[in-house]
Structure 1
Amino acid sequence: MTQPTWRNLPTTPLMFVVLAAMWGTSFVAIEVGLEFFPTLTFAAVRYEAAGLLMLAYAVYSTDRWRPQTRDELLATAIGAVFIIAAYHGLLYLGQNYVPGAIASIIISLSPILTAVFAAHILSANSLGKTGVFGLLAGFTGVVLVADPGPGILDSAQGLGIVLIFLGSVSFALGSVLTRPLRTDLPVQSMQAWTMFGGGVILHVWGLARGESMAAIEWAPLGIASFLYLTLVSGAVAFMLYFELLDRMGPTELNLIGYVEPIVAALMSWVLLGHAIETSAVVGFGAIFVGFAAMKKQALVDVATTVRRRIAV
């Protein structure tokens, strides 16, 4: 009997859904945890703990657990600064003013911003008319999600949206800046040092804002939020991510970013009673249309590959 390529087993789509659920619910868990933790300290302790757990896993599962070359050290530093510290710091600060479901929709703009930065920084092909349309559609989606009204720029909600958008920019920029770097460091090891280093930076940032570990309220709900983000959305989710990356490839796996907001919206409604406005739903649709316009050929390739795998 011929064995399928791509490990064509039911576990792959199931793992995709589980990972989307873990990362989608993280926005809600952040919203809950912010009631009990100082903002940046919450993010810092989460990623310091998750980084140490991932480092232990890297020592166990790989043949090299620490960066050695200049490019490996630089890639780790860029990831720690832009992808962990700046992105999550701005996201957590923004979620003080914006519900997690809305935050997840704004963050779904990241793939579009990544394409824009890649076109300019990496001297890739220019965006062209389709790319410009995709970018405009994405920004239109963010405006619809923000649902601007009189005084929005001076409101707490407006500040939160700007902070989360800047976090999305930081994530996209960090993703592009690491691409030219040559590294053979196992991804588990790279992720471990990136998370731990980013957590340390977040801790320093929090101290600079006057935050203190003494201000943490160790209530059961806050502890549950922290443990969920560290163990489930952190360590376990990234192990699933590495496995799915091997099975599916980055293009297909990036589509998970458009499942997360759906999960976040449902869980925000079920657990916190937050209803999603129609404008936010339309805005999310516009962001996805923008992504589809910029990645049209990649999505066609994905669909073709999936059909072939199913037929095997």
Structure 2
Amino acid sequence: MSRHRTLVLFVATAVLFGTSFVGIKAAIGSVPPVLFAALRIDVAAVVLLTLVTLRGGYWLPRTRADVLGVLASAAFVLGANNVLLFLGQQHATTGAAAVMYSLVPVISPVFAMFLLADERISAVDAVGILFGLAGVVVIVGPESVLGGGSAGQVLVVGAAVSVAFGTVLLKRVGPTIGTIPLTAWAMVVAAVGIHAVSLGLGESPTQVVWSPTIVAAILYVGMPATAAAYPVYFALLTEAGPVRGNLVAYALPIVATFFGWAFLGESVSAGTILGFGVIVSGFLLVQRESVARIVGTAGHRPAETE
């Protein structure tokens, strides 16, 4: 049951986060980027706080680990991540941004080696992770990697580093509060911080060119792609751990590129398709045992009795 739950969480996270890149790109030119990130978190915070308040139970942080978990999530997984991601998407397509974001599984094991005693990677796992990195290089181009890439790509890489560090730190802290309450409080703290950054950059709501498309983009990015996506993501991390759970970032470029092509008319190059193939190969190599178990279970179901 746990294996199937992990797979469902993985697919849901990939779709929700992958489509968020499209929503961000659709409105990023009409809304100041950091203010857009703050509005995303505002909407999600209202939704999740309302939900946890109505549900009751263990929804207030009670322990030191709970508070540290909220702060780690707010600072790195939500705060710095969204600021850098929204700034970066001004200068990158949805597919390119998602591809650079797929560096998260490459970076996570590095932090895990220093912060987590029970997280180790085998030689085969390392090869699979390097396959994922190779796929990113194929898509972006070796010259971009060696030359430092565009400003947008560098900012998105910064977002990936922030997420990788934040999720590993969250695992080390080990909060006992549920994923939805933890996410709700982290959203509140992150919203305050992101609004402060937005004001510091001189952004203002008066700069927003309001339209039905902009409102729809903000609501989509704030609700399904944030209020629903982050609790699902944190549940995935709880199930699979930060090293394997963050492998979901390998699926984001596929989702983001497809929807970017379908809704924004962005093109897909042959190099992008090849790179996706290499990335998927790396994912299958790292998750070889889980995939083999799922395939074996599907192929050897017990016979039904009449």
Shorter-chain TM-score tier:
0.7 to 0.9
- 1:124 offset after TM fit, Å? 4.1
Confirm or deny that 1:161 pairs with 2:153.
yes
Conservation of the 8 A alpha-carbon contact between 1:106 and 1:145: no
Cα distance between partner residues in 2 of 1:232 and 1:35:
21
Confirm or deny that 1:276 pairs with 2:268.
yes
Cα distance between partner residues in 1 of 2:185 and 2:159:
20
- 1:50 offset after TM fit, Å? 0.6
Conservation of the 8 A alpha-carbon contact between 2:108 and 2:246: no
Q: Which runs of 5+ in 2 are unaligned?
A: none
Conservation of the 8 A alpha-carbon contact between 2:144 and 2:150: no
Confirm or deny that 1:200 pairs with 2:201.
no
Moved more, 218-227 or 258-267: 258-267
- 1:263 offset after TM fit, Å? 2.4
Confirm or deny that 1:267 pairs with 2:259.
yes
Query: Which among 73, 85, 106 is matched to residue 112 of structure 1?
Result: 106
Cα distance between partner residues in 2 of 1:254 and 1:310:
33
Confirm or deny that 1:123 pairs with 2:89.
no
Q: Which runs of 5+ in 1 are unaligned?
A: none
TM-score by length of 1: 0.82
2:25 aligns with: 31
- 1:237 offset after TM fit, Å? 4.2
Query: Alpha carbons of 1:307 and 1:283: their partners in 2 closer, same or farther (altered >3 Å)?
Result: same
- 1:294 offset after TM fit, Å? 3.6
Cα distance between partner residues in 2 of 1:281 and 1:144:
9
Conservation of the 8 A alpha-carbon contact between 2:10 and 2:236: no
Cα distance between partner residues in 1 of 2:255 and 2:174:
35
Cα distance between partner residues in 2 of 1:242 and 1:25:
14
Moved more, 166-175 or 275-284: 275-284
Conservation of the 8 A alpha-carbon contact between 1:117 and 1:172: yes
Confirm or deny that 1:103 pairs with 2:117.
no
Query: Alpha carbons of 1:16 and 1:70: their partners in 2 closer, same or farther (altered >3 Å)?
Result: closer
2:135 aligns with: 141
Cα distance between partner residues in 2 of 1:7 and 1:167:
29
Confirm or deny that 1:188 pairs with 2:193.
no
Conservation of the 8 A alpha-carbon contact between 2:3 and 2:290: no
1:116-159 CA deviation, whole Å, 9 max, x = no partner? 321232134654533442343233222222225489847xx611
Moved more, 280-289 or 179-188: 280-289
- 1:94 offset after TM fit, Å? 0.9
Query: Alpha carbons of 1:287 and 1:310: their partners in 2 closer, same or farther (altered >3 Å)?
Result: farther
Task: Trace 1:208-287 onto structure 2 (pairs within 5 A).
Answer: 208-238=200-230, 241=232, 249-250=239-240, 256-287=248-279
Q: Secondary structure at the match of 1:180?
A: helix
Cα distance between partner residues in 2 of 1:188 and 1:110:
22
1:270-302 CA deviation, whole Å, 9 max, x = no partner? 221111112122223333333333443344445
Moved more, 116-125 or 223-232: 116-125
- 1:231 offset after TM fit, Å? 2.1
Cα distance between partner residues in 1 of 2:225 and 2:173:
27
CA RMSD of aligned residues (A): 3.4
Query: Alpha carbons of 1:115 and 1:46: their partners in 2 closer, same or farther (altered >3 Å)?
Result: same
Confirm or deny that 1:63 pairs with 2:68.
no
- 1:306 offset after TM fit, Å? 5.7
Conservation of the 8 A alpha-carbon contact between 1:54 and 1:188: yes
Q: Secondary structure at the match of 2:180?
A: helix
Cα distance between partner residues in 2 of 1:242 and 1:87:
14
Moved more, 92-101 or 279-288: 279-288
Cα distance between partner residues in 1 of 2:75 and 2:235:
25
2:280 aligns with: 288
Cα distance between partner residues in 2 of 1:292 and 1:221:
38
2:38 aligns with: 44
1:153-195 CA deviation, whole Å, 9 max, x = no partner? 47xx611111111211110111101112232212110010112
Moved more, 169-178 or 131-140: 131-140
Moved more, 20-29 or 65-74: 20-29
- 1:254 offset after TM fit, Å? 6.0
Conservation of the 8 A alpha-carbon contact between 1:82 and 1:170: yes
Query: Which among 34, 48, 51 is matched to residue 54 of structure 1?
Result: 48
Letter in 1 for 2:264: L
Letter in 1 for 2:210: W
Query: Which among 73, 80, 99 is matched to residue 79 of structure 1?
Result: 73
- Name the % identity: 30
